[in-house]
Amino acid sequence: MTTLDAGRAAALVETQQVRRRVQRRRPGWAGLAFAAPYTALLLAFGVFPTVYAIYLAFTNDRGQFTGLGQFIKVMQDYRFAPAFLNISVYLVMWLTVVIVLTVVVAVILRGRMRPGLSAVFRFLYYIPGALAGVASVLVWLFMLDPHVSPAAGLLRAMGWETFAEVLDPANLPVIFVIIAFWTGAGGWIVVMYGALNNIPDEVLEAARMDGAGPWKTAWHVQIPMIRKWIVYMAILAFAAGTQLFVEPQLMQTASLGRVSPTWSPNQLAYVFAFQNGDFNGAAAISLFLLLIGVILAVVLVTRSGLFKVDEEE
């Protein structure tokens, strides 16, 4: 063994010993202090409300245990099935659009554009996300009115002459997907772009040397290597989609009642709580949404190995 090899071996052993010491070291007060504000907010606005909702869902307004009575009651409501059917159609469309288009756009920005031009487009895509939810919906209310919209010609070409025709219940899932993509896709494009940047250039160069073109490289190399990020996006996008409230609520007001006030489960829970005074039924609806989200998250996490540490790490 040469002197250089011996030096490298000694450095490797020393590095491994440092890693073991770091792994055995207990977190200090600085780490606890750093995490304390988030933990307090999580408990106050996440854990405690969830526990309280569970309590309400299994009791009545007098605090008596009712078992599954609240869940059966809301399921028998004639508005329950349409609300969950509406949100199901919306979620299928929303997840398909946000996953496919954000990944495709990120791949194009990463591999088919110059860095300067790519940065400009990433900034432009992100701008709509700076608008509050209500403001973005108001913008789209203006855009969807054939009488004032700058895209009035396109709306009329699609057969929509009035605002009421645009807000036909059959069109609402598509409209809500467009609004959600316009406001939220820019942030996810930035995230996917960052994930693609973590792929070593040596891997992409090896794919090019093997004769793979840009799209084959994206399909067989880049997308599989950012699979965990895509799953993470799918979980959060699904969770956000189930909470749809502002968009249908404002559409219902703007349409003068043409859109149902219980179009989404969140709206139905709002009606139960603040119009009927039935907070127990509203809590039951919220737990239905929580259960659906948890089941999907567990399936995606276990099937994708989202939290599995790579062997090389």
CATH assignment of the domain containing 80: 1.10.3720.10
- In the chain, the percentage of residues whose pLDDT exceeds 90 is 37
Question: Between residues 136 and 104, which one has the greater pLDDT?
Answer: 104
Bridge partners of 65? Answer: 59
Kindly report, residue by residue over 251-294, the tens digit of the pLDDT. 888 887 788 999 999 999 999 999 999 999 999 999 999 999 99
The first and second tokens of residue 182, run together, are: 């316009």
In a domain, 197, yes or no: yes
pTM of the full structure: 0.82
Bridge partners of 59? Answer: 65
CB 251 within 8 A of CB 66: no
Tell me the C-alpha distance between 255 and 200, whole Å: 52
In a domain, 25, yes or no: no
Residues spanned by the domain of 141: 71-304
Using the predicted structure, report yes or no on whether residue 207 has a pLDDT greater than 90: no
In a domain, 55, yes or no: no
Using the predicted structure, report yes or no on whether residue 95 has a pLDDT greater than 90: yes
In a domain, 30, yes or no: no
CB 74 within 8 A of CB 284: yes
For tokens 């609004």, the residue is 179
In a domain, 20, yes or no: no
How many independent structural domains does the chain possess?
1
Kindly report, residue by residue over 29-55, the tens digit of the pLDDT. 777 888 889 999 999 998 999 999 999
In a domain, 313, yes or no: no
In a domain, 7, yes or no: no
- In the chain, the percentage of residues whose pLDDT exceeds 70 is 88
In a domain, 11, yes or no: no
In 3-state terms, what secondary structure has residue 24? helix
